[in-house]
Structure 1
């Protein structure tokens, strides 16, 4: 019988070396903790499950990236019923080397805690792994918590798909800690409501913390209402990493939409944010002068031309301050210049330079990313190539003081926002139009508002689409069908 194209046959794998412990080593590995993973999932997974005394060990099916006709989940369809399939682990290999796993997929069967325990140990030894799928897998809060701990330990995992896994305690936010390396997170059809949105919004940013890795977040087909939308918008105030946010098919109305429109344009800082900004400015000034002392948060805040008088040095350090000021200020470690996000927008704000796709979908000198879910995501993935560093927005030099309040420029890093299929009316359109008009050099490239409670030929809606089409480097005209597909 001929082997299927791209499939690594069991007999081929058995001929390869370094597939597992030698007989001597195997005798030593009496416990789960003693076992040393090899990076070959077809060997490690069944052995670890056996050491955990798991009786019905799921089969591991390995295929190379060139395999055609690969099974795909119906991820865009909200689930009202659960139908479990026969347990098996799908492993996608970069090539026929069993150590080259690029993705691991569990689709439509309920996982056991011991399965996740075994996978968590294996993930740390998969040097090429990029994506992990748990689609309709019956995950629990404890399983997601253990997965978040594994990722924070240095796993190479970047793309995580947890669609159709409702969690009572909404523990998805644990994957968005400050030290998380996940860049793409899909949480569709998870019955996430306002409380889950609150946790996710806080993980995106607070006055003191901010996620600096996540670029794509898909929350489509959930139960997020106006309160949840407000929490997520709050998380976007000081987050300068997220580029793509989908809230398609939720329960957001005009009140929630208004919160998103506010964060896209200039907004006043809260007292907590002003205090944190004062601390950061003081510490930055101290570092420039080579001093080592803390910030006095009780000093009054005086904002002039984006600078603060907090932490003024005495005459003994004035000379040193002037000397340090002459040197070119270096970017702070782990921070990013927002001006570098879109190179095309710098040259000509009215007609951003189109970013051509690299041949074969791969940028020179960089790893090929996991295949995007939609053509729109592919375009934004290419545009993200110019994203290099992240600046703490509280240190933005364009901060202004007006009417006794400190105003921060709005979030212009977010490039894609989908609010399609919600309960937004024509009342919200002037707010979005005003925000978009204020974003002269950077900001949203796509704002999906189709399938809401206003006619598609509404004048303000058409004006918004025209404005975005002129600034979007991928401004090919979109048909209604294409817009519908992208909004998912």
Structure 2
């Protein structure tokens, strides 16, 4: 170990020993651990003081856009020759380059820190322990930007452990921090829950690209949180681009990918273009697809009998029993009323016959009796029929209504069953279970139609690579993804500043197709190139 290495190790040990002594002193005096208030300036100053920092970086509000050094450093024209203004100018320059933490507030409230910018000063282990206490207390923190802060593999792992405690953090910009162990892939995990990630200018090579591709998706897992990743200004070649393309085969969450300013040629470009159109599955993927289909089929079979039993148990038995009781009661009432009326009519006939016998003697009387009895019988039979109709008609009218009721109840049950199926939580479908096509003994998936922005400016792509992208764009334009549910495919494709002729018809055709798909307002070519460089 050299003298510088020994000196650095001694300084670290001295700092750790000093921190331990400060902690021991606080314990002796009975000082409690500091509870963060959510105001970064106050919390950061207090924790740094307790940790024994001699020089504490200031927390300042970040100046607005276009208010950089020139706006601050411009001297008054009338006092250019004054020495005091010159000294103030020099002092402001040095103050600007001193370590500081710049913040953006949401509502000009110190408790609403939305973004944190740290740039051009080295963050060591001791400072990360301070940030590990301050950052989780910021309930509005959404973005953390670290530019050239001298991260090592050790400090990166410490930083990585902070992210799960920052529940609102969605955007991480980590630029100008190359890592020897290529650990950037650890940021693409379920523990971080990052949505936007920028890794520009980090010397990412093909090995690091392989790890990132594996983190995006593999045969057994796929990232479901990351929406955009910026890998521009790195050292990715065709090999690394192939690894990234393999990661996009089964990834259905990434919307934006930038590979600008790399070393990607036609081979890598064709691999990326291949997964944007229908592509054939490999043997391993076909085997995994069959396993997943078998799993799905057995799961559906196990659910079917259970649902059938549930539907039977949901049938309202009280409704059926009530209708049966009503039917029996109507039949019983009609029979009882008929018997009573028959008895009453027979009794009346006997009474009338007795009266006629007592009053009239002779044959005429007999004729009269017979006529009256026949008329009475007719009237009784009419009344009985009317009574029967009057009682039985409602029951008859209820029959078709019962039939309709049962049909409607069956429809209701079917609707309930459908509602139950829809109400179940929808799981993210594995891309291997997407609707596939079988051609020439191979299985083809529709391709990745979730990616909507792809940036490949300033690479080494020639006319051959452009033809691959043209075929992919034509496929996405002409075919609708089966069951895509809004997956439209590429909306923006940037291929400028590559190794194809300026009068390339293939590039012109790609531009023509993408112009119709681009939802953003049309911009000039110069503005587009400037935006791509800034991105």
TM-score by length of 2: 0.63
Structure 1 partner of 2:430: 392
Structure 2 partner of 1:408: 445
Structure 2 partner of 1:466: 512
Distance across 1 between alignment mates of 2:425 and 2:130: 36
| Residue-by-residue CA offset, 1:101-121 (whole Å, 9 max, x unaligned) | 101110111111221222122
Q: Quick check: 43-52 or 256-265, which moved more?
A: 43-52
Provide the secondary structure at the position in 1 that maps to 2:513.
helix
**Taking structure 1 as reference, are residues 332 and 25 closer, same or farther at Cα in structure 2, changes over 3 Å only?**
farther
Structure 1 partner of 2:400: none
Deviation of 1:322 (Å): 12
Alignment check: 8 A CA contact 1:128 1:156 kept: yes
Distance across 2 between alignment mates of 1:157 and 1:26: 37
Distance across 1 between alignment mates of 2:126 and 2:103: 18
Structure 2 partner of 1:421: 458
Structure 1 partner of 2:56: 57
Structure 1 partner of 2:234: 222
Deviation of 1:124 (Å): 1.5
- Residue 272 of structure 2, aligned match among 249, 260, 266: 260
Distance across 2 between alignment mates of 1:210 and 1:112: 33
Structure 1 partner of 2:524: 478
Distance across 1 between alignment mates of 2:455 and 2:245: 13
Distance across 1 between alignment mates of 2:106 and 2:228: 23
Deviation of 1:98 (Å): 1.5
**Taking structure 1 as reference, are residues 279 and 457 closer, same or farther at Cα in structure 2, changes over 3 Å only?**
same
Structure 2 partner of 1:451: 497
Distance across 2 between alignment mates of 1:320 and 1:154: 47
Structure 1 partner of 2:225: 213
Provide the secondary structure at the position in 2 that maps to 1:162.
strand
Structure 1 partner of 2:255: 243
Distance across 1 between alignment mates of 2:426 and 2:61: 38
**Taking structure 1 as reference, are residues 204 and 57 closer, same or farther at Cα in structure 2, changes over 3 Å only?**
same
Alignment check: 8 A CA contact 2:135 2:166 kept: no
| Residue-by-residue CA offset, 1:228-265 (whole Å, 9 max, x unaligned) | 00011111111111111111110001111111011101
Structure 2 partner of 1:150: 162
Structure 2 partner of 1:304: none
Equivalent residues in 2 for 1:23-422, closer than 5 Å: 28-29=30-31, 34-62=33-61, 67=64, 69=66, 71=68, 85-290=97-302, 327=418, 329-330=421-422, 335=427, 391-396=429-434, 398-422=435-459
Distance across 2 between alignment mates of 1:26 and 1:445: 64
Alignment check: 8 A CA contact 1:129 1:157 kept: yes
Unaligned runs of 5+ in 2: 1-25, 70-95, 313-413, 481-487
Alignment check: 8 A CA contact 1:54 1:114 kept: no
Q: Quick check: 472-481 or 444-453, which moved more?
A: 472-481
Deviation of 1:211 (Å): 1.2
| Residue-by-residue CA offset, 1:291-350 (whole Å, 9 max, x unaligned) | 6xxxxxxxxxxxxxxxxxxxxx9xx889779999973654985745xxxxxxxxxxxxxx
**Structure 1 segments of 4+ aligned residues over 4 angstroms from their partners:** 24-30, 67-72, 316-326, 328-336
Alignment check: 8 A CA contact 1:225 1:253 kept: yes
Deviation of 1:443 (Å): 0.9
Distance across 2 between alignment mates of 1:332 and 1:434: 39
Unaligned runs of 5+ in 1: 1-23, 73-83, 292-312, 337-390
**Taking structure 1 as reference, are residues 141 and 70 closer, same or farther at Cα in structure 2, changes over 3 Å only?**
farther
Distance across 2 between alignment mates of 1:91 and 1:70: 15
Distance across 1 between alignment mates of 2:61 and 2:226: 29
**Taking structure 1 as reference, are residues 320 and 439 closer, same or farther at Cα in structure 2, changes over 3 Å only?**
farther
**Taking structure 1 as reference, are residues 271 and 71 closer, same or farther at Cα in structure 2, changes over 3 Å only?**
farther
Distance across 2 between alignment mates of 1:434 and 1:68: 41
**Taking structure 1 as reference, are residues 29 and 134 closer, same or farther at Cα in structure 2, changes over 3 Å only?**
farther
Equivalenced residues, count = 371
Alignment check: 8 A CA contact 1:213 1:241 kept: yes
Distance across 2 between alignment mates of 1:210 and 1:114: 35
Alignment check: 8 A CA contact 1:46 1:57 kept: yes
Distance across 1 between alignment mates of 2:256 and 2:217: 15
Structure 1 partner of 2:325: none
TM-score by length of 1: 0.69
Deviation of 1:68 (Å): 6.0
Provide the secondary structure at the position in 2 that maps to 1:124.
helix
Structure 2 partner of 1:356: none
CA RMSD of aligned residues (A): 3.1
